[in-house]
Amino acid sequence: MTLTYQQEQFLQGAMGRDGILNLDARHNRAYSAGDRDRWIATFRHSGASYVRDGESFTDLSQAFDGGEGARLVTVDHEIHVDGVNATQRCVAVLFAAVYGDTTLRATGTYTDELTYERGGWYFTSRQLAWDLVPSRHPLVM
């Protein structure tokens, strides 16, 4: 069975989106496990960058701050695939285990550029902007 051009483009986009969602899952699991090498492996082999709250890193080993009882989850993915390049925006949710209780530590937004190379999707640049959290005065409930 031969696919029409439109069907082929739809299939390529769906496959790209699936691959990017799997990349996000690997990235989040490596971060949560504190596995810096696996986390770095989600980025392109050379020339990748990471920005966290305005601080830029080209040495990804310096950018890694995962593990230590944290659980990173990404939701609300907006993915646009254009051949071997893609962009993504998604929401980051960071949980922390404190004294046996799981609490929400932070939320933020990732803005990503990705590329398909070596048979898979990789981040070429990833920017994380954590949301501002109002401080609570102890007397205010």
- Whole-model pTM: value is 0.87
Cα 110 from Cα 127, distance rounded (Å)? 5
> Does the pLDDT at position 38 exceed 70?
yes
pLDDT tens, 83-110?
899 999 999 999 998 888 889 999 999 9
pLDDT at 134: 57
- Work out the average pLDDT over 57-76: 94
Q: Fold for domain 5-130?
A: Nuclear Transport Factor 2; Chain: A, (3.10.450)
